[in-house]
Amino acid sequence: MRQDPTSLYGFINAKLRARIGLMRESHIVEDLLKAKTVVEAVAVLRDSAYATVATAYDRTGDIQQMELALLYNEVEMYQEVSKFLEGKPAEFVLRLLGKIEVENLKNSIRLWYSSIVRRRPMRFRSEYLFKQKLLNDIDWTALINATNWDGVCKALSNTPYSDVVKEFTEQQLDDSGLFILENKLDRQWYEQMMASTAKLSNQDRLVAQSVFVVDIDLKNLLMMVRYGWYYKMDKDVLSSLLLPWGKVYKDKSIREFIQKSPQERDPFAVIEQLYPGLTQSIQQIPEEKKGSVHQDETITLQNLRIEAYLHERRKALYKRMLASDPFTIGVSLAYFFLYNEEDVMIKAILNGKYYGYEEDYIRGVLA
């Protein structure tokens, strides 16, 4: 029997709202930034929800073990929220774990690639991977120990990733790297998520799709600038890489952009049409840097600006979700967003502190 939204979301949304309230009050990120060293930064985590991360550091002194502890926390968080839901929304939340699975798979394949194709010993690094079951029965041990690409394919044979990995050969990967493969894995996840949203109630579907669409727009926009313009990617490859949803993909100017020869492509005209405020911000970069900026740095800064712009849009979207109907999947999605935002910040700051960067520099990168 289908539950009404009030009883389905009443408890979990109240719980998540309380947590969101605590997150907003928390000054953990600010305190981490102020810490002079990674040792002092860890002290900030000690009495927080990230106590396990501090313990990992005490025990190992290893920043990557801290990242693994953060990953465990994140997985537990999704599983916990899912337990408080029922039916399709619970399945949908579990499906979101697929993103972590895909990222973990990409990391595993990168390690494998580095070890087997590029011949850099993997050594202990495989122990930083998450090896428990997330969504699918991936034989992580077999994957990282595969001595050839067939071994990797076999380790993924009972999973939805099988078809994607089988499209590639070891030689192809050796020649052109992992970019296309990783992109296809991402794309597959988006396909699964968009299909999963279709099973939700009308209201939940609209909320969930609006979230994914903003995410997809960001990916497509970055793809267009970075690969379509800067790396001058071929139109067929570029078309196959764009995710087929969202405002950016559907815009006519995008198709025109792709069809043009790489030398004639102008991403800023397209951006101007889609996001008028963003073009100005991107074009100001050389002026802000007083003209001395290298082209590689320009593209990085442009990407950062685009990411920051769309991140703000996403933030606004989640704020709207929290202010609208309290009995939808929106509160959970907003919570995941805020949780991930904090998680990413913590990882970045801990790494920054580990490598000895100054507070201002880290702030600049995170801004």
Partner 1 sequence: MNLFTRPMELLTAVVLEEKSDAVVKSLLELGVMDFVHINKLAPEQMEKLSSRPSSISRVVLEDTRHRVEALLRQGQVALPSTDILDVKNLEKPDLDSYNVVLDTLGKKLLVLKEKQKESNQLVLGFDEMHRYINEDKGEYLDLRVGEIGHGNADDLGQRLASFGGLLEPYGEGKKYISLTLRRDVSQVSPLLDKFDWTESSDVEAQKMAISLITHRLEEEHRKAGMQRSEIEAEVNDLIKAESAKLISIWSNLRLNELSDQIRSYFAYTRNTTLFSGWVPTDQADEVTKAIFRSSEGQCVTEWTDATQVPRGEVPVAVTSPKLLEPFQKIVNNYSTPEYGTVNPTIFVMVAYLIMFGLMFADVGQGFVLLVVGLLTQLGYSKDPLKKDGMLSRNLSKLLPYLGASSMLFGMLFGSYFGLSLFPALWFNFDAVVSGHASTGSIRDVYGIMGLTIKFGIIVIYTGLFLNWINLFRKKDWLKLTLDKNGIVGGVLFGTGLYMGFGFVKTGYREFPSAPWVSIVITVSLVLLFLRGFLAYYLSVKKGGPKHGMGTVVMDSVMEWLVDLLEIFGGYLSNTLSFMRVAGLGIAHATLMESFKELSSLSSGVGAIAIFVLGNVLVIVLEGLSSGIQSLRLNYYEFFSRYFTGKGVAYEPVGLKTSFSAQK
* Structural Rg of the chain based on CA atoms: 22
CB of 9 to partner 1, least distance (A): 24
Q: What is the size of the binding site for partner 1 (CB under 8 A)?
A: 41
CB of 54 to partner 1, least distance (A): 9
**Residue 108 binds partner 1 (CB under 8 A):** no
**Residue 127 binds partner 1 (CB under 8 A):** yes
- The tokens of 156 are what? 């993924």
Q: Considering beta carbons, is residue 173 or 334 the nearer one to partner 1?
A: 173
- The tokens of 278 are what? 């963003």
9: number of CA atoms within 13 Å, CB side?
20
Q: Considering beta carbons, is residue 19 or 125 the nearer one to partner 1?
A: 125
Residue of the chain from 27, 83, 250, 320 that contacts partner 1 (CB under 8 A): 27
Helix (H/G/I), strand (E/B), else coil: 198: helix
Q: What phi and psi, each to the nearest 5 degrees, are found at residue 150?
A: -60, -40
Q: Considering beta carbons, is residue 128 or 327 the nearer one to partner 1?
A: 128
CB of 39 to partner 1, least distance (A): 5
Inter-residue contact 95 to 135 (CB < 8 Å):
yes
Q: Considering beta carbons, is residue 356 or 364 the nearer one to partner 1?
A: 356
CB of 134 to partner 1, least distance (A): 20
- The site map against partner 1 for 192-221 (x = CB under 8 A) is ------------------------------
Measure the CA–CA gap between 250 and 262, rounded to whole angstroms: 20
CA distances (Å), 33 to each of 22, 98, 170, in order?
19, 31, 43
Residue of the chain from 20, 134, 144, 271 that contacts partner 1 (CB under 8 A): 144
**Residue 34 binds partner 1 (CB under 8 A):** yes
CA distances (Å), 59 to each of 42, 48, 56, 104, 121, in order?
12, 18, 5, 24, 25
Measure the CA–CA gap between 102 and 162, rounded to whole angstroms: 12
Residue of the chain from 141, 259, 284, 340 that contacts partner 1 (CB under 8 A): 141
Helix (H/G/I), strand (E/B), else coil: 260: coil
What angle is formed at CA 174 by the lines to CA 170 and CA 176, rounded to 5 degrees?
115
CB of 46 to partner 1, least distance (A): 6
Measured over the CA atoms of residue 117, residue 122, residue 125 and residue 126, the dihedral's sign is positive
- The site map against partner 1 for 35-64 (x = CB under 8 A) is xxxxxx-xxx-xxx--x-----xxxxxxx-
**Residue 252 binds partner 1 (CB under 8 A):** no
Inter-residue contact 273 to 252 (CB < 8 Å):
no
- The tokens of 195 are what? 């299909």
**Residue 241 binds partner 1 (CB under 8 A):** no
CB of 48 to partner 1, least distance (A): 8
Q: Considering beta carbons, is residue 33 or 214 the nearer one to partner 1?
A: 33
Contacting positions for partner 1 (CB under 8 A): 27, 30-31, 34-40, 42-44, 46-48, 51, 57-63, 65, 112, 115-116, 119, 121-124, 126-128, 141, 144-147
